[in-house]
Structure 1
């Protein structure tokens, strides 16, 4: 009996000792598993004591959009990616906020000689729905102060610079991200037959990402058949020109300027299309010749559907030469076609036209070089022969 009694406790001790390591191991696994589940928290609460643990990047952080370059050391909540053109009071209490912030932008390159006409243009745009920005290419800003809307507009002055020079430097996509549509217009447009509310309604309903009001061909210079107003029509997206001068456009033509095309005197861009078009504007080229033929690459989808000309809200284009230069501004399709085919010769033209041709030639060469050098680029509009 004594022997039996001395063996039994040893068996129990052996049994307990054999399970203690297993229990410790399982407890350790449980603890580690719980800690992994709590990686999104900076502290783990065990009993009444908080023990700090190392924080790892959560899956939520990995899915978020990358922060802008140069801001990696900042907390994300302080990073402001975009801005707008709304002015803020420098002193005194903040002004009472408008019923709604401007949702669109009208930007015009202006000279004081066209002050009366520009005033008529701006008055067509409701200041509650539009931010107004004037690019003064003649340096005269004070001459506009007597207009009632002038103090609400943003004025930028740089002598002898074009609309596209200003747009590249002051209409960065992140600056105009608050606006649904950007109207980038010339100063010599007649707006007697234009209503901006109806225009916006049409382009939104039709899904036009790049558009322009039609041009009254009876009272205006019209460079391309596509931009001429069609009577008894709301809008059109293509033109047919079988017998007239300039580009021949057929019923099945798929390329600009027969379809997917607007001119540069009164383009209207959606926020998304402007982000793309801004990147195409060249820093050192002051004119947009050549850019108009490639704007179709900046619409989301089919350029033959998402670019159009609105007929029911149309303009009169005076074609007044700005920034000096000679000529009456009358240049027909055939002349434009001839100039566009040139590659190097600019002699024999006035200075203004020579600069335009030089800009066109450089842009065409750069596009061609970019296409050849980018081995990954695929032309979405290429039609295999």
Structure 2
């Protein structure tokens, strides 16, 4: 009996000794796994990688987030953004500016519209703007006689659209220095537009995406929402019960009745442009369909953060250059035109461009639908339950 009492504690001790190492091992595995999962989460969420450091480095260095491509560089030498300010080849700048431009005007231009473009630039020249011209006809020398020509950035590529240029030369990191990006067409009349007052209004109203209203009496207007309202500073919604075009009711909250601007004169905040740039498809150069989806880049409620400024308005002549807009065409009309061949005579280039635009519109719609179906994590912030 005494022998039995002496053996029992040894068995307990043996049992404890057997599971304690296992418990320690499992705890270590859990700790390491959690650290790896946290690292993966930081990398995917922040868009950067965690730079491995030696054990002698501080805890701060171990957790430091390093952007992809800069892992081998000391942090202080990394320049993440750029701007469009021109620099002299030698010596100090010819004229010291009190501060760098804080906004950007970018226009797709052809030499035939240089008089009108000059009027637009003159409106912006005395304000705090960098200016960039996209020459779709390849003619840059024809602008040299304008006094401001050497002070703006010229980019030339024959027969390319405003959105082709924007996708390639207005990357968000390049234009990160600018509070607002004006991405305009060349055929806009600015007689009734003052950029300083316009900026004050959109800042005060918190508009992330906006446009000056279009004078419906003298202009080509495609949607009721973008037409100027008299005796109004700005508006965010439109009602169109009996007029031509898209019907907008009192409770309509979707584009083009609310949360919508047209593509001839959009103005983006820095944050909204970063989103919109990523939505521009590299191969869909006419960007048809993009206007209906810009609300997803409004940094919140699109019916509040997108608006049309009435007090500072434009005249849109609608000169045909590289296409146009969908003009409120029905889905049936779009499908019919998109099914047509683009193999047409060169003399009918205008029609060919229009057909190509409709084809791109269908492609964009299909890509959006496919992206929504395949992204199981995406939640539509504007989904209305049926």
TM-score, with structure 2 as normaliser: 0.79
For residues 253-275 of structure 1, give each alpha carbon's deviation from its aligned partner in whole angstroms, at most 9, with x where no partner exists: 11100000000000000000000
- 1-side partners of 2:215 and 2:131: how far apart? 25
Residues 79 and 322 of structure 1: is their aligned pair in 2 closer, same or farther, counting only changes over 3 Å?
A: same
Following superposition, the deviation at residue 94 of structure 1 comes to 3.3
Q: Is the 8 Å Cα contact of residues 44 and 52 (structure 1) preserved in structure 2? A: no
Unaligned runs of 5+ in 1: none
Residues 2 and 71 of structure 1: is their aligned pair in 2 closer, same or farther, counting only changes over 3 Å?
A: closer
For residues 106-125 of structure 1, give each alpha carbon's deviation from its aligned partner in whole angstroms, at most 9, with x where no partner exists: 00000000000000000001
Residues 252 and 90 of structure 1: is their aligned pair in 2 closer, same or farther, counting only changes over 3 Å?
A: same
- Structure 1 or 2, whichever has the larger Rg, is 1
Following superposition, the deviation at residue 216 of structure 1 comes to 0.2
Residues 339 and 100 of structure 1: is their aligned pair in 2 closer, same or farther, counting only changes over 3 Å?
A: farther
Residues 114 and 179 of structure 1: is their aligned pair in 2 closer, same or farther, counting only changes over 3 Å?
A: same
Query: RMSD across aligned C-alpha pairs, in angstroms?
Result: 9.3
| Residue 340, structure 1, aligned to residue 341, structure 2 | no
Equivalent in the alignment of 2:80 = 81
Q: Is the 8 Å Cα contact of residues 215 and 315 (structure 1) preserved in structure 2? A: yes
Q: How many residues align?
A: 383
Residue pairs, 1:274-313, within 5 angstroms: 274-313=273-312
SS at match of 1:125: helix
Following superposition, the deviation at residue 250 of structure 1 comes to 0.7
Following superposition, the deviation at residue 352 of structure 1 comes to 3.6
Following superposition, the deviation at residue 97 of structure 1 comes to 2.6
- 1-side partners of 2:41 and 2:91: how far apart? 44
Residues 345 and 248 of structure 1: is their aligned pair in 2 closer, same or farther, counting only changes over 3 Å?
A: farther
SS at match of 1:44: helix
Residues 29 and 54 of structure 1: is their aligned pair in 2 closer, same or farther, counting only changes over 3 Å?
A: farther
Deviates more, 1:176-185 or 1:25-34: 25-34
Residues 373 and 350 of structure 1: is their aligned pair in 2 closer, same or farther, counting only changes over 3 Å?
A: farther
| Residue 48, structure 1, aligned to residue 48, structure 2 | yes
For residues 190-246 of structure 1, give each alpha carbon's deviation from its aligned partner in whole angstroms, at most 9, with x where no partner exists: 000000000000000000000000000000000000000000000000000011122
Q: Is the 8 Å Cα contact of residues 48 and 65 (structure 2) preserved in structure 1? A: no
Following superposition, the deviation at residue 41 of structure 1 comes to 28
Q: Is the 8 Å Cα contact of residues 346 and 358 (structure 1) preserved in structure 2? A: no
Residues 81 and 230 of structure 1: is their aligned pair in 2 closer, same or farther, counting only changes over 3 Å?
A: same
Following superposition, the deviation at residue 252 of structure 1 comes to 0.8
For residues 114-154 of structure 1, give each alpha carbon's deviation from its aligned partner in whole angstroms, at most 9, with x where no partner exists: 00000000000135500010000001101111111111100
- 1-side partners of 2:276 and 2:290: how far apart? 9
Residues 46 and 55 of structure 1: is their aligned pair in 2 closer, same or farther, counting only changes over 3 Å?
A: farther
Q: Is the 8 Å Cα contact of residues 280 and 290 (structure 2) preserved in structure 1? A: yes
Following superposition, the deviation at residue 92 of structure 1 comes to 3.2
For residues 287-310 of structure 1, give each alpha carbon's deviation from its aligned partner in whole angstroms, at most 9, with x where no partner exists: 121000000000111000000000
For residues 323-354 of structure 1, give each alpha carbon's deviation from its aligned partner in whole angstroms, at most 9, with x where no partner exists: 4899999999x988997999999999964455
- 2-side partners of 1:46 and 1:182: how far apart? 25
Unaligned runs of 5+ in 2: none
Give the structure with the higher percent helix.
2
SS at match of 1:22: helix
* Runs of 4+ deviating beyond 6 Å: 1-54, 324-332, 334-349
SS at match of 1:45: helix
- 2-side partners of 1:267 and 1:46: how far apart? 29
- 2-side partners of 1:311 and 1:284: how far apart? 34
Q: Is the 8 Å Cα contact of residues 225 and 256 (structure 2) preserved in structure 1? A: yes
Following superposition, the deviation at residue 100 of structure 1 comes to 1.1
- 2-side partners of 1:5 and 1:82: how far apart? 77
Deviates more, 1:338-347 or 1:213-222: 338-347
- 2-side partners of 1:46 and 1:233: how far apart? 42
Q: Is the 8 Å Cα contact of residues 209 and 269 (structure 2) preserved in structure 1? A: yes
Following superposition, the deviation at residue 13 of structure 1 comes to 35
Q: Is the 8 Å Cα contact of residues 116 and 189 (structure 2) preserved in structure 1? A: yes
SS at match of 1:371: helix
TM-score, with structure 1 as normaliser: 0.79
SS at match of 2:39: coil
SS at match of 1:316: strand
Residues 331 and 377 of structure 1: is their aligned pair in 2 closer, same or farther, counting only changes over 3 Å?
A: closer
Q: Is the 8 Å Cα contact of residues 241 and 247 (structure 1) preserved in structure 2? A: yes
- 2-side partners of 1:323 and 1:52: how far apart? 51
- 1-side partners of 2:234 and 2:208: how far apart? 14
Deviates more, 1:65-74 or 1:264-273: 65-74
- 2-side partners of 1:325 and 1:12: how far apart? 85
